[in-house]
Chains A and B, each alone.
Chain A
Amino acid sequence: MRAPGLRTLAIATTVTLLAGYALAFFYAPLEVEGFIQKIFYLHVPLAVVALVGFIVAAVYAIQHLRKDDARYDAKSYVAIHMSVIFGTGALITGALWAKGQWGVWWEWREPTLVSFLIIFLLYATYYPLRYAVEDRDRQARYASVFAITAGAFVPLNFLAVRLAEPFIHPRTFSSAGGLPPEMLQSFLVCLLGMGLLWATLVRFELGAKAASADLGRLRRALDPESERPAGPRRSAAPVAVSATEGSAQ
């Protein structure tokens, strides 16, 4: 199997997410805000997982630079890729929540949402950066440098934005500690489920990349005439490295 543990992870994700949202809808009490508050169980886990994913990508990037192993670059790339997708989801659900609660699509006085937007804008430049460096080794190294720099940026940015808004907006939750226990439990299950979903998708994409790299190699072995690479000449995605590549040579 190209993505070991994928089946187990996928099953665990499905069970945890289903349980989490069942708890969120049927167990957790309805807040004063009304039904719109249920989006909390989707929005906050998406955002938290995306941020943790960016930090994980930075850790992979450090390992890539240290060990000079292209597999870590692929992991760092896929982690950022998934976190950008989760981040898009967090921004959209955040806008929906703001509309439902405060009647506006965007709220500048909500520091967490603003910090998140800035971090999202920074990571959105990861793709043009990779695309602009043609040499594959150099692309991988520069991408890792970016991932480390941006990883250090994440906490700093939260600090600066939070300080810029000294008068805390009336918020439902100052921290998870202020939640009634039923809500906190439901939230934690949803958070775990979202984290598992992220891990499953990362594992899946890494497996898919390795499979398509193997397929390309087999094609070339069968038909040496077709030397041209299948994809576009330049790509933002790292070279896929399969688990078998080392032993095949």
Chain B
Amino acid sequence: MEAYRALLGKDLRVELRTLRSLPAMTLFAVTTFVIFRFGLDRTELEGGLAAGVLVATLLFAAILAINRLFVAEREEGGFELIRLAPLDRTVLFASKASALFVYLTALELVAVPTFALFFLDSASALAPLVPVLLLANLGIAVTGTLISTIATMSSARDLLAPLILLPLLIPLVIAASGAAEPLLRADGPEYERFGTWLAVLGLYDLVFALVGYAVFDFLLED
């Protein structure tokens, strides 16, 4: 637990001092909204289109952070130090996933209100979106950490992470969009199958958290 706190604290401190991921993610998300405004030629979005634009944008912004997640470890020899330290390596998995979760939540604190400002009539959908986005963040955080480790250690690096992650995240996208679509309808939020989709997101998070916990050790062996 102490090691987890130390590693997570280190990641968050590094991010606060260097600001390598978060500003880029936020800028990317806002620019992508503008691109959708012209690509779709719509000034207002509702229902499925709104859910799709929001979820796809957040997903692609997340890829930026996932690609950078282990860059410091690779460049500064952090992996060797973790191997040498007398601690359970899954602590690294937990701390990196938590850091990614924090980045994604911080990104959404800016990007989702901006999305509402740009495209939505009212902000009434924002509150019920919170549990959907938090569960989605958790899923992206665990699968993202797992695949980012593989990609970082490979020679294809930035290419491999999105290539494997995007199909892997499709069930999460289905569930998040499925929950968000009725919430973002033009005539006010509805809770159609809200619980079902939250359960699917929760199941996704649970399954990949367990898989990650079980296999992460093998990724760090040398």
Q: Once bound together, how far apart are the Cα atoms of A149 and B169, in whole Å?
A: 12
- At the interface, is chain B mostly helix, strand, loop or mixed? helix
With A65-B218, A141-B218, A146-B164 known as contacts, the answer to whether A159 contacts B154 (CB < 8 A) is no
A118 at the interface (CB under 8 A from B): yes
A121 at the interface (CB under 8 A from B): yes
Contact A146 B171 (CB under 8 A): no
Those of A142-166 within 8 Å (CB) of chain B:
142, 144-146, 148-150, 152-153, 156-157, 159-161, 163-164, 166
Query: How many A-B contacts at CB < 8 Å in the complex?
Result: 93
Contact A161 B167 (CB under 8 A): no
Residues of B within 8 A of A163 (CB): 174-175, 178, 193, 196-197, 200
Q: How many chain B residues touch A (Cβ–Cβ < 8 Å)?
A: 35
Contact A145 B164 (CB under 8 A): no
Contact A156 B171 (CB under 8 A): yes
Interface-side segment among B31-39, B64-72, B80-88, B155-163 = B155-163
Q: Once bound together, how far apart are the Cα atoms of A73 and B96, in whole Å?
A: 28
Residues of A within 8 A of B170 (CB): 118, 157, 160
Q: How many chain A residues touch B (Cβ–Cβ < 8 Å)?
A: 30
Contact B160 A129 (CB under 8 A): yes
Among B164, B200, B208, which residue has its beta carbon within 8 angstroms of that of A122? B164
Among A121, A131, A146, A160, which residue has its beta carbon within 8 angstroms of that of B200? A160
B207 at the interface (CB under 8 A from A): yes
Contact A160 B175 (CB under 8 A): yes
19 new A-B contacts, CB < 8 A, other than A132-B154, A148-B214, are A118-B167, A125-B160, A125-B167, A128-B159, A132-B160, A133-B153, A141-B219, A142-B150, A142-B153, A144-B215, A149-B143, A149-B168, A159-B171, A159-B203, A160-B171, A161-B171, A163-B175, A163-B197, A166-B193
9 tightest A-B CB contacts, nearest first: A132-B156, A160-B171, A132-B154, A122-B167, A121-B167, A160-B174, A145-B215, A125-B164, A133-B154
User: Which chain A residues have a beta carbon within 8 Å of chain B's beta carbons?
Assistant: 65, 118, 121-122, 125, 128-129, 131-134, 138, 141-142, 144-146, 148-150, 152-153, 156-157, 159-161, 163-164, 166
